[in-house]
Amino acid sequence: MTGIEELLDRIRAQMDLGGETEHEVLAEIRDHLEAAVAAARAEGLDEAEALNQAAARFGLEEVGPALQAAHAGWGTADAVVAAAIPVICALILRWLAFAPDGTALGWPQLLSRPAFWIVAVAALLLPALKFERRRFALVTWVVFWGLTVLFVSLPALRW
């Protein structure tokens, strides 16, 4: 195990983040530590001294709790929002697709409503703008269009 790996293990021990978030945070820390060690080595320090200097400058004892506080809970919040966006948008589209008497509007009438397009575009853009992780956006889009087919399209079909 390298010296940087040992430093990362000490930081990892101070955090309790989700797997993907922890991996991203530790990868960024690794980059900063490697750059700090390389700079210290360029100043003529040996490997052990360079690691100690990088650890001291980085604030090794404070960084773990600070990162935990900054990143805790975001995975859950993203998952809740990723689940809520398609459900809400699909329900709004269902509301738009049916006339007050309960009969389904035809596609020409539905497609001519600006509210339909606003909701459809919002359902496509919000996940892309909200989530840095594209998999949440992709899942949101798939669920939205699946719910739209179930809530809007199938009941509107006249067999």
Please report the pLDDT score of residue 1 as a whole number: 45
Q: What is the mean pLDDT of residues 13-19?
A: 75
pTM over 0.75: no
Better-predicted residue by pLDDT, 83 or 121: 121
Better-predicted residue by pLDDT, 30 or 84: 30
Whether residue 100 has pLDDT greater than 50: yes
Whether residue 7 has pLDDT greater than 80: yes
Burial group, residue 48, by CB count within 10 angstroms (0-12, 13-18, 19+): exposed
Please report the pLDDT score of residue 76 as a whole number: 67
Whether residue 16 has pLDDT greater than 60: yes
With cut-offs at 50, 70 and 90, classify the pLDDT of residue 118: confident
Greatest Cα pair distance in the chain: 82
> In 3D, which of 71, 60, 66 has the Cα closest to residue 7?
60
